[in-house]
Structure 1
Amino acid sequence: MTGTRYQTDALIIGGGVIGCAIAYELAKAGVKALVLEKETLGSQSTRAGAGMLGAQVEMMEPGPFFELGIKSRALFPNLQEELRELSGIDMELQTPGIFRVAVDEADRAALLARQSWQTAAGQRAVWFEDEELRSELGDLLTPKFGALYLPDDHQVRNPQLLLALAASAKRLGVQFIEQTAMVGFLEENGAVVGVKTIEGEVRANRVILAAGAWTGLIANQLGLELPIYPVRGQSFLLDSFAPPTPFTIYTHGCYILPKRNGQVYVGATEEPQAGFDRRPNLRSLAVLSTQAINLFPSIGQLPFAAPLAGLRPGSRDGLPFLGPVPGIEGLYLASGHFRNGVLLSAITGRVIAELLTGNAPSVDLTPFAVDRKVVPQTADTTPTHSI
C-alpha cells in the first residue's frame, strides 16, 4: 500500500509509558496526536518494569536529574485522579515508601551521606538501625547495616498505568496504531514531516521519537549518532494472597515490591551485553532469586508466577534526551530514561507537550538537551559522543 494513510499534528514513535504519557498530555492541550507502535502498547520495558517512583532511592547525587525526578513524582497523585476520572482505570499508586537496605559498611556510609544531602534538599529520608528496622518490618528481614527509609518514594503497577494513559488519551482523541513498524522518515526541505510504514505514510507536523532502546537505531536513519543502547533487565513475579510487607525493599542488585493485585515483583538485572535479546535466562533468574531470599527469606515460600524481561533504554551519561533535535526541524526526542521511565513519564509528557504548544518548559531542559556533550558515567576508553 502506498500514499498517505494518516495525517496528524504530532506523531509519537513508540507506545510505551513515555509515548503514552506524551500522547495524553498533548491531547489535554488540544493537539491532534497519533501513536505508532511496532508491536503492542507497553510490550517492551514498560511491561517488564517494577513501577517504582524512586525519585530518591535511584539518585546517587544532587543535581538536575534528581530535581527532575522529584518534580515528576509530585505529579502522580493528581495524574492518578485525572486518569481514573477519564478512563475508570486506577494506576494502583501505593504510598508506604521504600526501605533502601545497606549491604556493608561502605554502603551504609554512602546511604547516610545520601540522607544528608536529600534532607538538605527538603526531602524526607529517615535512618533505621537494625533493631528499629526489625520492629518495622518484622524478623523476616535479615538486615546487618541499617536502612534508609524514603517515605515519599512510591510505586504504581505498570500495566495499569499504561492502560490508564492509553485509554484516557484515546478518549481525548488520540489515535493508536499497533503492530506497525516505521521503515523510514519522510523529509522535505531538511524537515521531518512524517514516517513511512509498509501500510503507507503517516504525515505529521512534528515527530517525537519515544522508542526506548530502539531510538538510537531509528535515529541512525537520519544520520544521527545517539548514545542510547539496550540494557536487558530480568525480573519475576511471585503469587501471594497477602504479600509479606506493604513496603518496597531495595538493596544492591535486588528489589522487592508487593503489588496490590497480590503478586510480588522481584527485580532486576542489568545486562548491557545482551544487546537486543529479550529472552530471560536461568542463570540470571537464579542469581536474582538467591539475592531476594537473602534479603527477605519469607518470599522463598511463595509460588513462582512468571519471568519478565525487557530492554531499558540506557544512555552513556545516565540522563534522558528531551527536546528538539538541532538542525532537523520537526523532530523531537524523549528517550534514554533507563531505569526511570515510569518515574519520569509524567514530567516527560508534560514538557514535550509544553514544547509542542509553544510554552516554556516547566523545568530547565538544558542538562537533557539532545546536542549536549555526553560524558560516560564511568571512566573507560569509550569516546564521548555528540550529535
Structure 2
Amino acid sequence: MQRRTYDVVVVGAGIVGCATAYHLARAGQRVALLDRSGVAAEASDAGAGMLTPLAEAGASDLNDPLLRLGLAGLRHYEALEAQLESEAGLWAGLVHLPTLYPAFDDGQAEALRRDLAALQTLRPELRWLEADEVRQREPLLSPSVRGAVFSPAEGNVAIGHLTRLLARASVLNGAELLAPRSALSLLWDGARVRGVLTEVEPIEAAHVVLATGAWSSAWHAQGECAAIVYPLKGQLLALRTSGQPLRHTIYAGPLGYLVPKADGSVFVGATSERRGFDKTPTAGGLAHLLTVVHRVAPALEEAAVDRTWAGLRPVSADGLPFIGPAPSSPGLWLAVGHGRIGAITGPVTGFIIAELIQGRPVPYDLDLRPFAPERLGPWRRRLTALNAAEAAQRQPELFSQAPTQAEAAAEDQRRERS
C-alpha cells in the first residue's frame, strides 16, 4: 500500500494544532492536519476566549512560566490578527474591548492595588480606577464595586471562529486537512518516529506534533490511567440582552467572569469540575453561573438565557503544558495540556513548535524548560490489540500483520533496555 508522505503531521485540529499547521504551511512545509472529529470540535469551540494572561497571575512571581507564556501569547496576537485577515480576507475573531479586574470588598481592593505596581513593570498601561470611574465606565457592574484594575490590551476572541480560520488559512497555504481521521499510533523507524498510523492508511512524516487536547494521556507511556493530561469540565452560559451592552471583559477573581462577544451576547463562566469526559450541563452548574451574574453584574439578570454548554479543558498533572520535542522519541513533538489558558497560549504554542521544527530559536525569549515534554515520562503510543481491532473493521488488509498488544509491550521493553 502506498503511504502518504509529509514533512509534518499534526494530530489534533483544535486551536493549538491549527495554529501549528498554519505557521508550518505558511513557511512552505508539507503539512497534514488530522482530527478524529473535525476542526474545533472540542475545547476550542467551547471556551469563553479570554485573552487575559494577567487573570492567572499575581505579583508574587513575575517570572511564573504560565504568565510569561501568556504575555508572549498576547504579543503574538498583535501580529497574527493582521496576518490572518490579510491572507484570508476575513475577521480573525478578536474583540478589542478592555478588561476590568474589579474588587467588591476592601480586602480585594487592597490586594489588587498591592499587585498593580509589580504588574505594571510587565504591562505599563495597567492602571487603577476608583469606584466612581469604574461605575461610569461600566454601568452594568454591581454598585458594590470598590475599584478595579483597568487593562486596555487584554480583550477576548471567538476562539472557535479563529480555530476554523487558522485551518482554512493552513489549507490556503498548502496544508492538507484530513478530518474526520483518527491517529491510532505512532509509526517508528528504529528509535525514531516516522509518522502515524490511521484507520485509513499510514501517514509518514519527518515530524509528528501531538496537539490532542484532553485525550493526550492515551499517547503517554503510562497510558490513560496516569492522567498525565485530564479533562476539566467547564460549564458556561450565554446571555442576550436588548439593553445596554457590556463594555469590558470582567474577570472577578475566583468567582467567575463575563465576556462580551461581537454578536452582542455575553458569555458567563465557568465551573471547574473533575467529571471525566462528561460534557452535560447541569442545574448546579447553571446555579453557579447565575450567582456570578447576580454578584458581578446584577443588571444582566434581566437578560435572556441564550444557551448553556460545557467543554473539557486539557489540564496537565502539574498544571503546566507540554511544549517541545520529546528527547527519547526523535521526530515527536508535544503541544498539549494548556488547561484554562488555551485561548491566549494556543496560537503562540503553534508558532513556537513551527519555529523549532524549522531549526529556529525559541521566539519571544521564552524559557521552555518548565514545559519540558518528558518531565513526567515519555510519550510513545503504539498500536494495541484494541485499536487495531477497531480499525481492522474498516481496513482489514492494512492490519492483517498488525502487532498484538503483547508484541507491542515486548518491543517497548526492548527499546527501554537499549
How big is the shift at 1:223?
Answer: 10
Shift of 1:95: 2.2
Amino acid at match of 2:5: Q
- Post-superposition shift, 1:372? 3.5
Equivalent position of 2:368 in the other structure:
365
1:158 aligns with 2:163: no
The aligned residue for residue 218 of structure 1 is: 219
Shift of 1:225: 6.1
CA distance 1:198–1:137, change in 2 (3 Å): same
Question: Could you say which residue in structure 2 is the equivalent of 1:62?
Answer: 62
Counterpart amino acid of 1:51?
Answer: G
Q: Which residue pairs with 1:23 in the alignment?
A: 21
In the alignment, the residues of structure 2 paired with residue 257 and residue 295 of structure 1 have an alpha-carbon distance, to the nearest angstrom, of: 12
Query: What CA deviation, in whole Å up to 9, does each residue of 1:126-149 have, x standing for no partner?
Result: 122322211221265333432221
Instruction: Give the TM-score normalised by structure 2.
Output: 0.83
Matches within 5 A, 1:367-386: 367-372=370-375
Q: Rate the CA distance shift 1:102–1:31 in 2: closer, same or farther, 3 A.
A: same
Is the alpha carbon distance of 1:228 and 1:8 closer, same or farther for their aligned partners in structure 2, counting shifts above 3 Å? same
Instruction: Name the CA shift for 1:221/1:344 in 2 (closer, same or farther; >3 Å).
Output: same
* Deviation (angstroms), 1:293: 2.5
**Cα distance per residue 1:281-307 (max 9 Å; x no partner):** 121112111221221112111211111
Task: State the partner residue of 1:191.
Answer: 192
Query: Contact conserved, 1:142 with 1:295, CA < 8 A, in 2?
Result: no
| Aligned CA distance change for structure 1 residues 246 and 254 (closer, same or farther; 3 Å) | same
Q: Secondary structure at the match of 2:68?
A: helix
Residue of structure 2 equivalent to 1:330: 331
The answer as to 2:41 corresponding to 1:39 is no
The change in CA–CA distance for 1:136 and 1:181 in structure 2 (over 3 A counts) is same
Matches within 5 A, 1:78-93: 78-93=79-94
Comparing 215-224 and 51-60, the one that deviates more: 215-224
| Partner Cα separation in structure 2 for residue 224 and residue 327 of structure 1 | 21
Query: Which of structures 1 and 2 has the bigger CA Rg?
Result: 2
CA 1:107/1:66 → structure 2, altered by over 3 Å: closer, same or farther? same
Alignment partners' CA distance in 2, 1:40 and 1:219 = 23
Aligned mates of 1:29, 1:368 — CA distance in 2: 25
1:290 corresponds to which residue? 291
- Selected match of 1:266 from 265, 268, 271: 268
Displacement after TM superposition at 1:152 (Å): 1.3
Change beyond 3 A, Cα 1:26–1:224: farther
Return the alpha-carbon distance in structure 2 between the equivalents of residues 289 and 367 of structure 1. 37
**TM superposition score normalised by structure 1:** 0.90
What secondary structure sits across from 2:95 in the alignment?
coil
- Per the alignment, residue 11 of structure 1 pairs with 9
CA pair 183-221 structure 1, distance change in 2 beyond 3 A: farther
Structure 2 Cα separation of the partners of residues 132 and 340 of structure 1: 29
Moved more, 112-121 or 351-360: 112-121
Which consecutive unaligned segments of at least 5 residues does structure 2 have? 378-418
Mapped partners of 2:6, 2:225: distance in 1:
24
- Larger displacement relative to structure 2 (239-248 or 307-316): 239-248
| Per-residue deviation, residues 151-187 of structure 1 (Å, max 9, x unmatched) | 1111111122112211111100111111222222212
Q: Within 2, Cα distance between the matches of 1:220 and 1:294? A: 45
Partner of 1:132: 133
AA partner of residue 114 (structure 2): A
Tell me the alpha carbon deviations over residues 228-251 of structure 1, each in whole angstroms, 9 at most, x when there is no partner.
211111102122356622211111
Q: How many residues align?
A: 372
1:52 pairs, out of 50, 55, 58, with 50
- Provide the C-alpha distance between the structure 2 equivalents of 1:304 and 1:223, rounded to a whole number of angstroms: 37
Spell out the pairing of 1:162-177 with structure 2 (5 A cutoff): 162-177=163-178
Q: Kindly state the Cα deviation for residue 73 of structure 1 after the two structures are TM-superposed.
A: 0.5
**Is 1:255 aligned with 2:253?**
no
> Which residue is 2:394 aligned to?
none
- Pairwise CA RMSD: 2.3
Identity %, equivalent residues: 33
